[in-house]
Structure 1
C-alpha cells in the first residue's frame, strides 16, 4: 500500500511518520487491503483542522483527526475493485492535528508515538468504513483499534 505524507507544520518527527507507516501497513494486512491501495496522511495545526472541521462537519472547533473516504466501500468491494481495475484503490485522506496529538498524549499519560499511531489508525479505520456513531459500531471500532495497536506492540501505558 502506498501512503503519501504531508507535514504542513514542519514539526512531525520522521520516526513518528515511520511508525505511522508501519502501523497502517500492519492494519492494512489484517484488514486484507490490496497492496495497490493508496491514501494520504496530512499533519496540520489546530487552526487548520478547526477550519476543516467547520467547513466539512459544521463543528467550529479543533479535533484530533478527520478522515475523508474517497469511496464508501466495504472490504469485499475494495477487493473486487482492485481485481477488476488496473488503477489503484484510492482509500482517501487522513488529517491529523499535531497540537491535539501532543495535548492528548499528555492528557492520557502515554507517549506521543502511541497517540500519533492511534490517531492515524483511527482515521484509517474510518476510511475502511468503520464508524462510531452508534454504540454497537463504536464498540466494534474501538475494539479493533486496541487489538491492532496491542498486536503491533503499542499497548496503553
Structure 2
C-alpha cells in the first residue's frame, strides 16, 4: 500500500499525522493493498471539482473519487477483487477551508487535515454521510482514528 500526498497550494504542513491516520484506518478496515492519493489544494480547484462532479458550485472541505467501481453505462463493475492491483482512489482536500474549520474548531491544521483525509478515505471504502446516522458514524470513526494516530501515540 502506498499513500501519495501531493501539495498543490502554497501552505506547508507536516504530513506525518495524516499518513499515520490513513495507514491505521486502512489496517483497521482490512485493506492491505492498493494505493491512496491525497491532493492538498485550494478552494478554487475543489470548487471546480465539486461543480463538475457533484453539481455544486461552491468549495467544500474534502472530495473523494473512488477507483474501486467503474460505471459502464447502466452497469457498475465492482473491481474490489482486484484490490492489490488498483488504486483505492483520490482524496482532494481544500487547505484554505481546512484552515477555517481548524480555527473554528480550535484544532491545529495538521489535526484537521488528518481528519479530512480519514473522512475522504472512509468514503473510498464505501462509507456514506448522506443520512444523519451515516454522518454521525463517519464523524465518530474519523475522530477515533485521528486521535489514535496522534503523534506520540503507540497505537500505530
Which range, TM-score by smaller chain? 0.7 to 0.9
Determine which structure has the larger helix proportion and give its number.
Answer: 1
Please say if 1:96 is aligned against 2:96: no
What CA distance in whole angstroms lies between the structure 1 residues aligned with 2:18 and 2:143? 15
SS of 1:132's partner is coil
- Measured on the aligned residues, the alpha-carbon RMSD in Å equals 1.9
Please list every run of at least 4 consecutive aligned residues from structure 1 whose deviation after the TM superposition is greater than 3 angstroms: none
Unaligned runs of 5+ in 2: 70-78, 152-156
The alignment of Structure 1 onto Structure 2 pairs a total of residues equal to 143
1:134 to 127, 131, 137: 131
What TM-score do the two structures reach when normalised by structure 2?
0.83
Superposition pairs of residues 2-151 of structure 1, within 5 angstroms:
2-13=2-13, 15=14, 17-34=15-32, 36-72=33-69, 78=80, 80-82=81-83, 87-151=84-148
- Structure 1 residues 150, 5: CA separation in 2 closer, same or farther (over 3 Å shift)? closer
**Per-residue deviation, residues 82-135 of structure 1 (Å, max 9, x unmatched):** 4xxxx5231100000010111111111111111010110100100000011122
Unaligned runs of 5+ in 1: none
Indicate conservation of the 8 Å contact 1:6/1:42, yes or no: yes
What TM-score do the two structures reach when normalised by structure 1?
0.82
SS of 1:123's partner is helix
